[in-house]
Amino acid sequence: MREPVSFRVFRWVVVLVLGAFTLIPLYVLLSSSLKPLGEVQGEFRWWPEHPTFRPFVDIWSTVPLARYFANSLVVCLVATLFSVLIAIFAAYAVSRYRFRGRSLFSGAVLSTQMIPGILFLLPLFLIFVNLDKTLGTTVFYQTRVGLIVMYMTFSLPFAIWMLAGYLDGIPRDLDEAARVDGCSAVGALFRVVLPAARPGVVAVAVYAFMTAWGEILFASQMTNTETRTLSIGLQSYSTQINVYWNQVMAASLVVSLPIVLVFLLLQRYLVAGLTAGAVK
């Protein structure tokens, strides 16, 4: 199709504005992480005058970054695993069965997305604390287990919704055929349906992982020195005897890189999953 001048102008404007808007902070992040402390404390400069990799070395000793990293990794991976698994079961039920309470279930699950986190933060705090008291030992409050239980639930509603949409698009004949061949419902799900739904599953996994990796509100109350995750741990660079902006930037870069790369590699799946859910 021929593009009128107006559209070409529009494209230039959009590319320039959005490109700069996106890129400038990323550039600041990168360039500041390569500056010595003195340079990030003075007036802003575009270029590091004395570029150095020291911040990337120092971040590990200024705060226990490795521990935060390990905590985040364990919590997010386990939470993602369970969230995806549970979402698969639920989505399969919603997509393939008509059962009493089906629409209530899907409606209720999705509407939990509306509950402001702050409403159930306080009760969850009390519930976890009192559960531990009942159990006589610390299982939930400020532990990794507690975080995992929360985080896998946070991504669940959207994951179920997205996956159910995806499964709806997979021909029913596929699992009916497997059932005729003698598979159980779950057998059909794992042997036939899931392989066909792999993009949707990957999309849900990426979403669940990102949700957990970036969570702040609950981490601020439900972790302690030992179980602190990156989202709160990263803020401790500013409570040291100096505010180490170069290290804050370096650490932000380090914790962002793996997830950004994974996301960019898998984004096409996420797009597919999102569309499947949205246009259902």
Partner 1 sequence: MKIRLWCASFAITAVAATAACGNGDSGSSESGGGGGGGDAKTLTYWASNQGATLDVDKQVLGKELAKFTQQTGVKVKLEVIGWPDLQNRILAATSSGQGPDVLNIGNTWAASLQSTGAFMPFDKAALDAIGGQSKFVDASFKTSGMEGKDPTSVPLYGLVYGLYYNKKMFADAGLQPPTTWEELQAAAKKLTDAGKGTYGMAMEGGSYTESIHFAFIFGQQHGADPFTKDGKPQFTTPGMVAGVKQYVDLMSDGVVNKSSVQYKNGPEAPGDFAKGKAAMLMSQNNADNTLQADGMKSSDYGVVAIPTKSGNKDTASFVAGINMSVFKDTKNKDGALKLVKFMTSPEEQAILDKPFTALPVVKGGTVNFTDNPAEAKTFADILATKSVPLPLVPAEAAYETNVGNAVNGLLAKAATGQKPSEADIKSALQEAQDKMASAG
Partner 2 sequence: MSVDTVETPAAGSTAAAPAPSRPRRRGRRVTPYLLVLPAVVLELLVHIVPMLVGIWMSFVRLTQFFIANWSQAPSAGLDNYKVALDFSGPLGKSLLHSFGVTLAYTVLVVGVAWLFGMSGALVLHRSFRGRGFLRTLFLVPYAMPIYAGIMTWSFIFQRDNGLMNHLVKSLGLGDGESFWLVGNNAFASMAIVAIWRAWPFAFLMLLAGLQNVPDEVYDAASVDGAGIWKQVRYITLPYLRPVNVVLVLMLFLWTFNDFNTPFVLFGPTPPRSADLMSIHIYGNSFVSWNFGFGAAMSVLLLLFLLVVTGLYLFLTSRRSRRA
Site residues for partner 2, 4-33, by CB under 8 A, read 4, 6-7, 10-11, 14-15, 18-19, 21-26, 28-29, 32
Structure tokens at 46: 């575009």
- Among partner 2, partner 1, none, the one that 98 touches (CB under a kind-dependent 5 to 8 A) is partner 2
The DSSP code sequence of 112-173 is GGGS-HHHHHHHHHHHHHHHHHHHTS-SSTTSHHHHHHHHHHHSHHHHHHHHHHHHHTS-HH
Span of 25-33, 108-116, 209-217, 235-243 interacting with partner 1 by CB under 8 A: 235-243
Query: What minimum distance in Å lies between the beta carbon of 93 and partner 1?
Result: 13
- CA distance linking residue 17 with residue 21, whole number of Å: 6
State the SS3 of 36-79: CHHHHHCCCCCCCCCCCCHHHHHHHHHCCHHHHHHHHHHHHHHH
Site residues for partner 2, 83-112, by CB under 8 A, read 86-87, 89-90, 92-99, 102, 105, 108-109, 111-112
**Contact assessment for residue 196 and residue 144, using Cβ atoms and an 8 Å cutoff:** no
Minimum CB distance to partner 2 smaller for 118 or for 241: 118
Query: What minimum distance in Å lies between the beta carbon of 271 and partner 1?
Result: 27
Structure tokens at 79: 């939470």
Span of 20-28, 50-58, 97-105, 239-247 interacting with partner 1 by CB under 8 A: 239-247
Q: Is 244 in the site for partner 2 (CB under 8 A)?
A: no
Share of the chain residues as helix, strand and coil, in percent rounded to the nearest 5: 80, 0, 20
**Contact assessment for residue 208 and residue 83, using Cβ atoms and an 8 Å cutoff:** yes
Site residues for partner 1, 88-127, by CB under 8 A, read 89, 125-127
Minimum CB distance to partner 2 smaller for 57 or for 271: 271
Site string for partner 1, 18-57 (x = CB under 8 A): ----------------------------------------
- Which residues are near partner 1 by CB under 8 A? 82, 85-86, 89, 125-127, 129-136, 140-142, 149, 186-187, 190, 221, 224-225, 238-243
